[in-house]
Amino acid sequence: MTSPSPTTPPIILWQPEVVPLKPGTNGFLAVRVAGLPVACAWYRNGTAIPGATNALLWFAPVKQTDEGLYTVVLSNRVGQTTSQPIAMVVSNVDAQRVVELEWEADAPSLFKVESSNVLGPAARWDGSVYAVTGSGPIAVPGLYQTKPSCFFRLVGWVDSRINRLGLRYGFKLYGSTGSHYTIEYVTRETGWTNWQVLTNLTLSTSPQLFADHESSWAVPRFYRLKP
The tens digit of pLDDT for each residue in 43-72 reads: 999 999 999 999 999 999 999 999 999 999
Asked if pLDDT for residue 28 goes beyond 70, the answer is yes
Q: What is the mean pLDDT of residues 209-222?
A: 89
Residues 6+ apart with CB under 8 A from 30: 55, 56, 57
Asked if pLDDT for residue 75 goes beyond 90, the answer is yes
Asked if pLDDT for residue 37 goes beyond 90, the answer is no
pLDDT of residue 189: 95
CA–CA gap between residue 132 and residue 104 (Å, rounded): 9
Do β-strands 196-202 and 80-82 pair in parallel, antiparallel, or remain unpaired? Answer: unpaired
Q: Sign of the CA dihedral 139, 144, 148, 150?
A: negative
- pTM of this structure: 0.76
Per this entry, what is the length of the chain? Answer: 227
CA–CA gap between residue 224 and residue 227 (Å, rounded): 10
Peptide bond into 85 cis (omega under 30): no
pLDDT of residue 144: 39
Q: How far is CA 133 from CA 19, 102, 187, in A?
A: 41, 13, 34
pLDDT of residue 36: 74
Q: Evaluate whether 189 touches 124 at the Cβ level (below 8 Å).
A: no
In which band, very low, low, confident or very high, does the pLDDT at 146 lie, cut at 50, 70 and 90?
very low
Share of the chain above pLDDT 90, in %: 50
pLDDT of residue 57: 97
Q: Could you tell me which residue, 116 or 171, shows the higher pLDDT?
A: 171
Going from N- to C-terminal start, the domains of the chain cover: 11-90, 91-227
Q: What is the mean pLDDT of residues 147-168?
A: 60
pLDDT of residue 18: 96
Nearest to 87 by CA among 180, 187, 156: 187
CA–CA gap between residue 111 and residue 213 (Å, rounded): 22
Q: How far is CA 149 from CA 18, 99, 154, in A?
A: 28, 12, 17
Asked if pLDDT for residue 82 goes beyond 70, the answer is yes
State which H helix or E strand residue 98 sits in: strand 96-104
Mean pLDDT of the chain: 83
CA–CA gap between residue 210 and residue 169 (Å, rounded): 9
Report the topology of domain 11-90.
Immunoglobulin-like (2.60.40)
Asked if pLDDT for residue 160 goes beyond 70, the answer is no
Q: How many separate helices (H) and strands (E) can be counted in the chain?
A: 0, 20
